[in-house]
Structure 1
Amino acid sequence: MGRGFQIDKTPGDPGFLCLEVEMVASIRVAVDVGSRFHSVAVGDPTGQLLDEFTIDHRRDGFERFFARIDGYQARDVRVAMEGYGGWARPLDQQVLARGWRLFNVNNLKLARYKEIFPAPAKTDAIDARRMLELFAFDGQRPLVRNVLAEINPVSQAQRQLKYLTRRRRHLVADRGLRLTRLRVDLQAVCPDLLGLTRAVDNRWFLRWLTCRDCLTALPRLQEKTILAIPSIGAKKAPRIRAWQKQATFGPDIDLYDRDIVADAQAILDLDTQLTDLNQRIDAVAADCSITQRLRSIPGFGVTGTAELAGEIGDLARFNHEASLALYLGMAPLDQASGLTRRGRPPKCVNSRCQNAMMTCVVRHMRCVPESRAYYDRKRAQGKRHNQAVRALGRHLTRVIWRMLTQERDYELKT
């Protein structure tokens, strides 16, 4: 410990009034993350509390956080934060930019730790102190082993892919909801119109629905106007004209009229956004070494490999390929009692990785006969489809682990 000093007072900031700080060589910082406020506890490597305060999730709050920590003039600063819900951003990236070591708190293990060693009350400040204790216990007690996972900086391409693929998944989900609602609404007020197409998301059908502001105006369109709609040619125009002659609407058409058109236009807009997003993903994926290496596996496409590369991040945070398999959702845990044998999904699964991996594995086994034969053997053993796919995915995870750790592309033996 060094000598004490005082931080200058800042008008209107009671957290800086008469605050005396001890200079230490190494400090630990725990941040209990909230949507609007973050509780911060500062301690030494033994877990001794040195300071605690609260910051706002705003720029001035972040500046106050770094000013308080910089006041210790410590050479070794380690920050533990909760990553659940995304509320740690952008503070976590600013911590890494400062060169400090960042740790992600395993919320499940933290909850078990607090159950065994309960605190007298439950507050954000107490939770921050309990997280601070984990720094002193990490690696010593079996319960808290690996409860703090160090987050290493990843490449710019991986950060971009993580954002782009997550946004794409949100847009795809929104598109699916609107398609379902459009199909149900058309079935309720005009089933004959729905019979014009096999799929509601056909581009020509959506453009036909949105060529006027309301659905009831469609029967009055002239043939010249219909043929001017993109993707509607001489083959589809007669079917539309036949529907116009006998067009009828349900009694609740006044409620659905403009909303159906609005949903159809929203789907077209989402298609445009997804097309642009896919192009951006392709451009970024070309600069990501992990994506390019995973794409050497037959059946692994651009979107799936981009999502895997963005979500996996730094491979060094996985101790073994089994840890990666758990994270990808390819290694369900055994749950047995007596003669009952079944598996249960682990709680540490990244659902985005799991969905991407399942899709890639299904496409992979269509391209590689040996993988298809492995899948068929698992099915013959009584495994369900998803179980057989996960079994094949577990085997491919070992292959992916060796590819990434040894920097090798996929090789198909002949």
Structure 2
Amino acid sequence: MRLFVGDDWAEDHRDVELMDATGARLAKARLPEGVAGMARLHAMIAEQLGPDIEDEEEAARQVLIGIETDRGPWVQALVAAGYQVFAVNPLQAADYRKRHKVSGAKSDAADAHVLADMVRTDAHQLRAVAGDSDQAEAIKVVTRAHKTLIWERTRQTQRLRHALRDYFPAALAAFDDLDAPEALDLLARAADPAAAARLTISQISAALKRAGRRGDLAAKAAPIQAALRTEHLGQPEVVTAAYAASARALIAVLATLNQQVAALHKEVEAHFGQHPAAEIICSQPGLGPILGARVLAEFGDDSQRYASAKARKNYAGTSPITRASGKKKVVAARYVHNDRLIDALLTQAGTAVRVSPGARAYYDKQRARGADYNAALRQVANRLVGILHGCLKTGALYDEATAWSHHAESLAA
């Protein structure tokens, strides 16, 4: 018999419900996290399946589990056990809940019931958790950590920028990139206007050298010194001292972030370089080791996950959605998507239009049709996802002429 399981997770426990094909509740329980909870869940499932099981693997395939996440050791254990595991978007679960209750009432046990009922009635509409390789999972871990630190560095840089604008605007004129090594070095040494104005050309040149800058360092140091000595509206001395203390703290955080971003950069390259699909992915226009690793991490490497190029595009969020009712028809961008994946794909598209003649021609065609910059770039990204899908499916490296042959013919016509 088929068994349907709803698994609603919290930080320290799981609420599960087992349901049969008629929607009747067979069992429910609150399980602890970890090995003990997983063992209890296996026991509950085995009890319902019965003792007379000839093919355990096929029996496990008859168990469908709905859960609102697609990662973590618990999910990996469910997949390893052979169950069919479906990652349910929380928005889908919330909408499904309204089919049964419009009062807005909610509980963990009720959510487990909703998830079980969803996989019972709508499993064909849900996304199965992919069976990605351990290599792909490792790449996902390091690429997400790497990107998270980059985002955090941007936030800290903006905080430093706001602070300097309030008490030391001359520093903003001196340094284009506040998170650059020489900027952090000099501002750490002289975080207040008076100390910065005393920096000599040799001190600034030394900071540039430590940052790995080349060429005539004295010539590069002169405009920095001049900018730091520019008169500007300031704050009272005691307020300036307070701002300088807070700026030094932000600078220390940024320096540490720079070090860890660089360290994880190497980890991403090392893990990605060992993956069998790395060469194919890096052959795509606009993708190098870091961006390619992000794309692989977010797509995964399960060859059965995407039934077609369209399915991959839909998951990527690059394909448009159509809302039609009567005589009204609207085509819009997908706003529910994997933020990390769409960020990587749009970055790839931005580079591709500069290095790939086919991508550039396709971009120009979208602009000629009236699409704005973002819409045209999203269309390029959508096309590149389709090309990547074809290359991964056939095991072929990217070929410019083959990838854009259809569009080249239409442009020529």
TM-score range, shorter chain: 0.7 to 0.9
Structure-2-length-normalised TM-score: 0.81
Question: Contact 2:319–2:382 at 8 Å: present in 1 too?
Answer: yes
Task: Establish whether residue 234 from structure 1 lines up as the match of residue 190 from structure 2.
Answer: no
Counterpart Cα distance in 1 of 2:226 and 2:118: 73
Equivalent residue in structure 1 for 2:275, among 284, 288, 292: 288
**2:73 maps to amino acid:** P
Bigger helix share: 2
Match of 1:56 in 2: 32
How far apart, in 1, do the equivalents of 2:326 and 2:117 lie? 39
1:305 to 271, 292, 297: 292
**Which of 346, 367, 372 does residue 384 from structure 1 map onto?**
372
Residues 225-278 of structure 1: CA distance to partner in whole angstroms, max 9, x if unpaired? 655542484335555665777787522213211111121222221111111111
Are residue 268 (structure 1) and residue 255 (structure 2) matched? yes
Helix, strand or coil: the match of 1:318? coil
Indicate if the aligned counterparts of 1:216 and 1:257 stay in contact, CA closer than 8 A.
Answer: no
Give the drift of 1:224: 6.4
Letter in 2 for 1:80: I
**1:205 equivalent in alignment to 2:183:** yes
Cα distance 1:244–1:184, how it changes in 2: closer, same or farther (>3 A)? closer
1:215/1:261 contact within 8 Å kept = no
Between 245-254 and 386-395, the greater mean CA deviation after superposition: 245-254
Q: What corresponds to 1:40 in structure 2?
A: 16
3-state SS of paired residue (1:316)? coil
Q: Secondary structure at the match of 1:303?
A: helix
**What secondary structure, in the 3-state scheme, does the structure 2 residue paired with 1:334 have?**
strand
SS at match of 2:253: helix
CA distance in 1: counterparts of 2:225 and 2:348, whole angstroms: 43
Give per-residue Cα distances to partners, 1:349-374, cap 9 Å, x unaligned.
Answer: 22221111111112112112122112
Provide closer, same or farther for how the CA distance between residues 389 and 53 of structure 1 changes in structure 2, counting only shifts above 3 A. same
Which letter does structure 2 place at the counterpart of 1:95?
Answer: L
Distance 1:350 1:389 in 2: 17
Residues of 2 paired with 1:244 and 1:105: CA distance? 55
- Tell me, in whole angstroms, the C-alpha distance in 2 between the residues paired with 1:57 and 1:368: 50
Q: Which runs of 5+ in 2 are unaligned?
A: 403-413
Distance, in Å, in 2 between the alignment partners of 1:106 and 1:223 is 58
- Of residues 185-194 and 206-215 in structure 1, the stretch that sits farther from structure 2 once superposed is 206-215
Within 2, Cα distance between the matches of 1:59 and 1:128? 20
Change (3 A) 1:148 1:339: closer
What corresponds to 1:343 in structure 2? 331
Structure 2: distance between partners of 1:180 and 1:243: 20
- 1:330–1:354: 8 Å Cα contact kept in structure 2? yes
Structure 2: distance between partners of 1:347 and 1:56: 35
Alignment of 1:336-375 (within 5 A): 336=324, 342-346=330-334, 348-375=336-363
Deviation at 1:212, TM superposition (A): 6.2
Equivalent position amino acid for 1:172 in 2 = I
Contact 2:65 2:85 in 1 (8 A): yes
Mapping 1:99-114, distance limit 5 Å: 99-114=82-97
Contact 2:4 2:116 in 1 (8 A): yes
Matching of residue 334 in structure 1 with residue 322 in structure 2:
yes
Which residue identity is paired with 1:398? G
Q: 1:267 to 1:212 in 2, by over 3 A?
A: same
Question: Partner letter of residue 354 of structure 1?
Answer: I
| Structure-2 residue corresponding to 1:151 | 129
Which runs of 5 or more structure 1 residues have no equivalent in the other structure? 1-24, 138-143
Tell me whether 1:80 sits opposite 2:65 in the alignment.
yes
- What does residue 134 of structure 1 align with? 118
Aligned residues: 382
Q: Deviations over 1:326-380 (max 9, x none)?
A: 1112111123567765433336522221111111112112112122112112111
Alignment deviations for residues 86-120 of structure 1 (CA, whole Å, 9 cap, x no partner): 7x622111222334332222444444433334488
Q: Once the 2 structures are TM-superposed, how far is the Cα of residue 53 of structure 1 from its aligned partner?
A: 0.7
1:384-403 equivalences under 5 Å are: 384-403=372-391
Question: How has the CA–CA distance of structure 1 residues 243 and 35 changed in structure 2, closer, same or farther, with 3 Å as cutoff?
Answer: same
Give a deviation string over 1:105-155, Cα, whole Å, max 9, x none: 244444443333448853221221232233432xxxxxx252433224211
The residue type paired with residue 25 of structure 2 is L
Q: Which amino acid aligns with 1:307?
A: R
Give the TM-score of the pair, scaled to structure 1: 0.81
Given that residues 27 and 44 in structure 1 are in contact (C-alpha distance below 8 angstroms), is that contact kept between their aligned partners in structure 2?
A: yes
Q: Which has the higher contact order (CA 8 A, sep 6+)?
A: 2
More displaced stretch, 278-287 vs 118-127: 118-127
1:250 alignment partner, one of 229, 232, 235 = 235
